[in-house]
Amino acid sequence: MSAEIKVPTLGESVTTATVAKWLKQPGDSVSADDPVAELETDKVSVEVPAPQAGVLGPLLVPEGAEVEVGTVLSTVEAGTGKPAAPVAKPAPAPAAGVQAQPLSTGPVARPATPASDVAAQGAAHAPFPAAQKIMTEQGVSATQVGTGSGKDGRITKGDVQAFLAQPRAATPTAAPRPPRQDDPREERVKMTRLRRTIARRLKDAQNTAALLTTFNEVDMSAVKAMRAEYKDAFAKKHNGAKLGFMSIFSRAVIAALQEFPAINAEIDGDDVIYREFVNLGIAVGGPNGLVVPVIRDADQKSFAEIESAIAGFGKKAREGTLKIDELSGGTFSITNGGIYGSLMSTPIINAPQSAILGMHSIQDRPVAVDGQVVIRPMMYIALTYDHRIVDGKEAVSFLVRVKQNVEDPRRLLLQV
């Protein structure tokens, strides 16, 4: 009895994946739920399990091919049998501009259009009604305007007006770029799907949002003293959870977001969506790059619950087991470059969010306190925000409030 191995449902808004690696080969014996293939989506890696015990059949899709949800990858024959035919090897990389068709020992799974291209095409042809009216009147196509600033890249009225306001200058024809000759000491490696998605999203954020960064510095003396005094009791009380800086900054940020709601808001076309909850994204490093899992309803969680969530996300990121729904729905993000030694940086927002807080390394520095120069553990913090929705006064005031909450954690308890 044969059972098909299909591409599973990948999560909300994710319809395609890349076959990153076959974990089993034709003829291998597998048990039910044994992982046989690894798929790479725009966000995470997903293992595909065997639907039953038996022998793995021919691999119908080679590594590197893009597949849609429901595509048959292989089969599992019940019982034991002769080894199946070997996996098809992908054709050599084609010349620039030519799309390769994967080979297989069975039916060909035609690669789907990359998710980034689908998103770009959909965004370029999804203007809001008001925008479409102006485009029709002016004879402008969605392709000319490009990706819009609305949700999911939709074109807004403001995008069209900004395009029409641009000077119409003849674009000189660029000289063709000669083919790059690889040095034998170089290694050419194809970007992973996750890395391509990160690059696209960060560039889209730069192109769409009016990004600005404001800085401040925090005296970490009170936090360090509090941790030293209570870390053992905290771990004993909360099943080994460590009292770290991230939970303290998270609570400080949540309190400040409740005071300055525009920083927790989102632009959707010509509307602003304000929220009465905080879904807090925490950037963590994984083997395939930086990912931002989300602590949902973080404003309802305690220090211990936030610490446990962050520790769990870090473990999953290292193991590559984060789920897609754990990486979506964030309303504000925190990234800590200090764990890598960064002294100061300008983080980029995680669109469609309107702001992100950057933490950095702690260094002993001389500062003036009550007219005296003293050495204190200091940290620079940075807030990058979308100036279209967040005013400079709000951004600076928000960062000052975060600073005050961290420098005097009693404010979080007293809610002042």
Which DSSP letter does residue 107 get? S
Inform me whether the pLDDT recorded for 140 exceeds 90. no
Write down the pLDDT at residue 94.
44
- How much is the pLDDT for 101? 40
Q: What's the pLDDT band for 83 if we cut at 50, 70, 90? A: very low
Residue listed under structure tokens 């084609």: 94
- What span, in angstroms and rounded, lies between the C-alpha atoms of 20 and 47? 10
Q: Would you state the pLDDT for residue 11? A: 66
* pLDDT computed for residue 176 by the predictor: 64
pLDDT attached to residue 172: 52
Rounded-to-integer distance, Cα 192 and Cα 320, Å: 14
Asked if residue 36 lies in contact with residue 90, where contact means CB atoms within 8 angstroms, the answer is no
The mean predicted confidence, pLDDT, of the chain is: 82
The more confident residue out of 161 and 227 is: 227
Number of H helices, E strands in the chain: 10, 19
- Per-residue pLDDT, 275: 95
Q: Is the pTM of this model over 0.75?
A: no
Strongest mean pLDDT among 226-230, 312-316, 383-387:
383-387
Q: Rounded to the nearest 5 degrees, what angle is found at the Cα of 65, between the Cα atoms of 63 and 71?
A: 105
Cα angle 201, 207, 211 (rounded to 5 degrees) comes to 95
Catalytic residues: 387, 391
Distance of alpha carbon 200 from the chain centroid: 11
The pLDDT of residue 171 is above 50: no
Task: Concatenate the DSSP letters of all residues of 204-267 into one string.
Answer: HHHHHS-EEEEEEEEE-HHHHHHHHHHHHHHHHHTTT----HHHHHHHHHHHHHHH-GGGG-EE
pLDDT score at 196: 77
Please name the residues in contact with 159: beta carbons below 8 A apart, sequence gap of 6 or more.
131, 145, 148, 149, 150
Lowest-confidence segment of 94-98, 204-208, 224-228, 375-379 by average pLDDT? 94-98
- Calculate mean pLDDT across residues 389-410: 95
Cα distance between residue 402 and residue 254, in whole Å: 9
Alpha carbon dihedral 305, 297, 17, 335, in 10-degree steps, equals -70
Whose tokens are 């905290």? That residue is 234
